[in-house]
Amino acid sequence: MQPANGRQSAIGRSNIVTGLFYMAGFMVYGFVLIYLRDFAPDKEEWIAESLDGDHFEARLAHVHGNLFALLNITFGFVMLKLPVRGPLGLWASRLILGGLLMPIGILAEVYIGLPPILVIIGGVSILAGTVTLGWAIARGNPAEA
Q: Is residue 97 predicted with pLDDT exceeding 80? A: yes
Mean pLDDT of 18-26: 98
Residue 5, pLDDT score: 47
Mean pLDDT of 127-140: 93
Q: Which one, of 130, 142, 8, lies nearest residue 67 by Cα?
A: 130
CA distance 26 to 42: 23
CA distance 103 to 2: 33
Q: Is residue 9 predicted with pLDDT exceeding 80? A: no
Q: Is residue 61 predicted with pLDDT exceeding 90? A: yes
Q: Which one, of 72, 78, 86, 95, lies nearest residue 17 by Cα?
A: 72
Based on C-alpha coordinates, what's the Rg of the chain? Answer: 18
Give pLDDT tens digits for 110-124.
Answer: 999 999 999 999 999
Residue 114, pLDDT score: 96
